[in-house]
Amino acid sequence: MGSALTTIGLPVALGIIMFGLGLSLTAGDFSRVAKQPKAVFIALVCQLLILPFVCFGLVLAFQLPPVQAVGMLLLAAAPGGTTANLYSHLFRGDVALNISLTALNSVIAVITLPLITNLAIAYFMPGNTSLGLQLSKTVEVFVIVLAPVVLGMLVRRWRTGFADAMDKPVRIASIVILIVVIAGSIISNSDILLANLGQLAGITTLFCLLSLSVGFFVPRLFRVGRRQAVASAFEIGIHNATLAIVIAQTVLGSVELSLPAAVYGVLMFFIALAFGLGLRLSDRSRADDAAAAVPASA
């Protein structure tokens, strides 16, 4: 069961998710980047430069075993998932910016994900030649990440009505399949997961919180609008854990390498929800303070 889930179920689930992403994308989602260059540039700097260093520092601080350390960096290199769009919508972020960032990150990840993963392997597991993402495996990453997205975009371009009609069913199907596959994968690997849960829960929780915080506060520091900062927070804070799991288990052939992403993939939903509620409470507090200040100034 575990082997079938790894070799067939996980790639199929990810393929459906990425195909669904493609159905919702147009060329305009890429060109829209030019209309908000500052917000996009800062978000990309956070995603591609700041987060890997944050994750590297956490890995050293928590003294993770080498394979799990590489798994954490693989997770950090994974682009934002489509779930970020949902959270951004719920907490009044700029969803259009989320879509553009997801589209752009998915393309850039084809280069940065193998690069960061290989650097992590070289640092934590020097001399290991079995886990690296060489050219053939990098091509696999390209196919896994981009091929379904491009196919979905082509379907939308040629059959817009069909793409609109299929958007919701594909989203529902991807969620159902993903839950079934990940649940089955967790059950089939429950022994190794439970043995490492205590060690990984702390670092993945902290990494998620730091990712969300970096994604929100760094753009605000540079005077990016609040709605755009909210979008950036969820785009950077909610990584595509499924992609990291698929690459770890099917491309690199290591269940242990996928453990950080598996633990993170469960915890991030609750952490992101709490972060969003915190932002909402902050908004209300500032609104109450502003309302209270009006009579006083009058």
Answer whether 64's CB lies under 8 Å from 253's CB: no
pLDDT of residue 1: 40
pLDDT of residue 178: 62
Q: How far is CA 161 from CA 15, 27, 192, in A?
A: 21, 17, 46
Task: Look at phi and psi of residue 79 and say left if phi exceeds 0, alpha if psi is from -120 to 50, else beta.
Answer: beta
DSSP 110-125: HHHHHHHHHHHHHHHS
Alpha helical stretches, state H, the chain:
2-4, 10-23, 27-31, 37-45, 51-62, 66-77, 83-90, 95-124, 135-158, 160-188, 190-221, 226-237, 241-246, 259-297
Q: Hunting for tokens 């506060």 — which residue is that?
A: 217
pLDDT of residue 33: 66
Answer whether 69's CB lies under 8 Å from 261's CB: no
Residue 239 forms beta bridges with which residues?
Answer: 80
The CATH number of 1-278, from 3.10.180.10, 1.20.1530.20, 3.40.50.720, 1.10.287.1770, is: 1.20.1530.20
pLDDT tens, position by position, for the chain (298 residues)?
445 555 566 667 767 777 777 777 676 666 666 777 888 899 999 999 999 999 999 999 999 999 999 999 999 998 876 678 778 878 888 877 887 887 788 778 888 888 898 899 889 988 765 555 555 656 666 676 677 778 877 888 888 777 777 777 776 776 676 666 666 666 666 676 677 777 888 999 999 999 999 999 999 999 998 989 999 999 999 888 878 888 888 778 788 888 898 888 878 888 999 999 998 888 776 655 555 555 555 4
The residues, ordered by sequence, that sit 6+ positions from 4 with a Cβ below 8 Å of its Cβ are none
Answer whether 104's CB lies under 8 Å from 231's CB: no
Q: Hunting for tokens 């350390």 — which residue is that?
A: 69
pLDDT of residue 2: 47
- 3-state secondary structure string across 10-59: HHHHHHHHHHHHHHCCCHHHHHHHHHCHHHHHHHHHHHHHHHHHHHHHHH
pTM of the model: 0.79
pLDDT of residue 222: 94
Q: How far apart are CA 147 and CA 201, in angstroms?
A: 33
Backbone angles phi, psi at 210, to 5 degrees: -65, -40
pLDDT of residue 107: 79
pLDDT of residue 68: 92
